[in-house]
Structure 1
Amino acid sequence: MFLDASYKWLFSEPRLIEDLLRAYVPGPWEEADFTTLERVNASYVTASEKQRHDDMVWRLKVGPRWVWVYLLLEFQQEPEARMALRMLGYVALLAQHLVQERQLNDDGSIPALLPVVLYTGDSAWHAPVQVADLFDTSLPALQPYVPRLQHVLLQQHKLVKHEVPAVRNLAQAVFELEQGASRQQVLAVLQALQAWLADDASAPLRRHLTVWLKQWLRRSRRKGSIVQSLEQHADWLEPTMKLHEKLDMWYDQAVEEGAQKGQHEGLAKAVALQARLRFGELPAWAHERLQRASEDDLLGWLARMLTATSLEELLGRSH
């Protein structure tokens, strides 16, 4: 999965982060005051990393003390073998920053730091989550000096626990949609979001979700004119939106577009096969012509297949 700016933007929403922590991240959240949850500008991160990570540091109060959460959104399709080492570096930078800024506990200790990796790829994650597992273990006498830091690993495709909307959780709703649900499941999730966010105070979050939904549709099978026909709607989840009708339209258009694409691809393959039988293996320029061809072009070439004396004459290539 490519890094989607709308997805990153979505995970800058405190209400979604709260739901993510409560549902999926072990912690003393029953003691937490989520009204204090705030995103922190990680200005300490090096210039090469700041663009990716500076809005993924959060803090909230648990009892009288602050807990800092370092959330890394990992958009690669394959797991990173040394992710634990990367997280050790990020957490060390954050700890140093807290010391320099004197953001310490009353007793002088560094606040609790919780590293979390949200992995969106489909391949199973087998890389260590404990950095000590990356180091040589052949010398037992040196093991006490090996660095130890374990991060929380959240694999998006494994995160759904209950059916939406049985559980009111924004993070779970997003994960449900990302996993390519059926029409009925998508409708249930969207209608649940619409009900959860019906108040006026949720309007900004609904708009953020709409931006992400548009990107989600473009990445999924439901694209093309489906998104274009709804571009004028800035808030797909506002209470008066008739989601059932809209969803039917999205899927119907997807089926129609898919059928047209399949018919065109089948016709191109037929032309390529006939041309190969008549003139031998096709050169690169011929494949390019076939890929760019319109349906009228393809039908015309089929009609001229038996009368053309060369591939160049058939496809209209000038010498």
Structure 2
Amino acid sequence: MAERKSWDSAYKYLFSSRQVFHQFLTRFVEEDFVQGLAVEDVELVDKSFVSDELLDRESDIIYRVDLPGREVYVYVLLEFQSSPDKTIPVRMLLYILQLYDQLFRSSTKGLLPAVFPVLLYNGSRPWNVPFNISELIAREIPARYIPSFEYYPIIERDIPPERLEQIKGLVAAIMYLEQQEDETALARTIDRAIAMIAEEQPEQLRQFGHWINRMFRGSLDTGDIEKVHQLTEVQTMLAEVVEKIEQRGVEQGMQQGMQQARREDARKMVLEGLEIPLVSRITGLSEQVIREMQKEQK
């Protein structure tokens, strides 16, 4: 997969939009309390509510959700390591307890609000960490004294591409592209991703453009992205990205071919008995590389 900027910061930017977070919550969380929510019912928690220490962590996002007669909080942990982390249940519970401590400092009246914990994992390896922290704790004491805390897992690799195409929308399109193994596969599937965001508003189309720019190492001009208002403009930009990917592939192939030719020339020169420093000057290969080739020939 292409070299990319921090996934955590990319998703934090994406979920700073209440429209995008609402889409994520209502289309990927299969729980009754999120069904029927309006965009206006979700609000990103700002620094007036929790401490800087909680908000500044790149991997954490928290929203307030207004339900009829009450409010709950949705806490999302972004886990974008290549392999599962066994400490995730502990980290999630610790974050929520820190949040509750912050709430107690503000007021001790009434019950604490419910916090719904969500894990979003986009690693390539299977997620094999228990969903409940109690499964990580030894059972030498009665079960009622062992903490029970369960999180809601959203494991991208386990969502079939066909399902993402049915869900549609910005978040589904991004997950669809993330499932591709390399830049070539991404280029082949961009058209399908475009079809998945056909009903998005201009703001979401621009967010998609910024996301693509992160994935493909700044292949687009950010000024052009900000001018996007309709789907055809996104398609034009992505055609430019695909062209650059193909050009990079051609250039890499040419570089590899030239490198192989230089090595073959150096091999012949060494067999003819030319001194290594001279071979290095002629071919441009380092003396160390030529010595290693000489050892292989012997």
Q: Normalized against structure 2, the TM-score is what?
A: 0.78
Which consecutive residues of structure 1, in runs of 5 or more, have no partner in the other structure? 281-305
Aligned to 2:279: 314
Q: 1:51 to 1:74 in 2, by over 3 A?
A: same
The one-letter code matched in structure 2 to 1:186 is I
CA deviations on 1:49-91 (whole Å, 9 max, x unpaired) are 6422586110111221111011111121111111101111001
Give matches, 1:36-185, under 5 Å. 36-41=41-46, 44=50, 47=53, 50-53=55-58, 56-102=61-107, 108-137=110-139, 139=140, 141-160=141-160, 162=162, 166-180=166-180, 183=187, 185=189
Larger helix percent? 2
Find the aligned partners of 1:130 and 1:88 in 2 and give their Cα distance.
10
SS at match of 2:44: strand
SS at match of 2:154: strand
1:12 alignment partner, one of 16, 33, 47: 16
The answer as to whether partners of 1:2 and 1:76 remain within 8 angstroms in 2 is no
SS at match of 1:128: coil
The answer as to whether partners of 2:172 and 2:196 remain within 8 angstroms in 1 is no
Which consecutive residues of structure 2, in runs of 5 or more, have no partner in the other structure? 288-298
1:3 alignment partner, one of 3, 6, 28: 6
Deviation at 1:277, TM superposition (A): 6.8
Q: 1:45 to 1:162 in 2, by over 3 A?
A: farther
Aligned to 2:295: none
Which structure carries more relative contact order (alpha carbon 8 Å, separation 6+)? 2
Find the aligned partners of 2:231 and 2:174 in 1 and give their Cα distance.
21
Deviation at 1:113, TM superposition (A): 0.8
The one-letter code matched in structure 1 to 2:172 is Q
Find the aligned partners of 2:162 and 2:274 in 1 and give their Cα distance.
64
* Aligned residue pairs, count: 274
Q: Normalized against structure 1, the TM-score is what?
A: 0.73
The answer as to whether partners of 1:210 and 1:236 remain within 8 angstroms in 2 is no
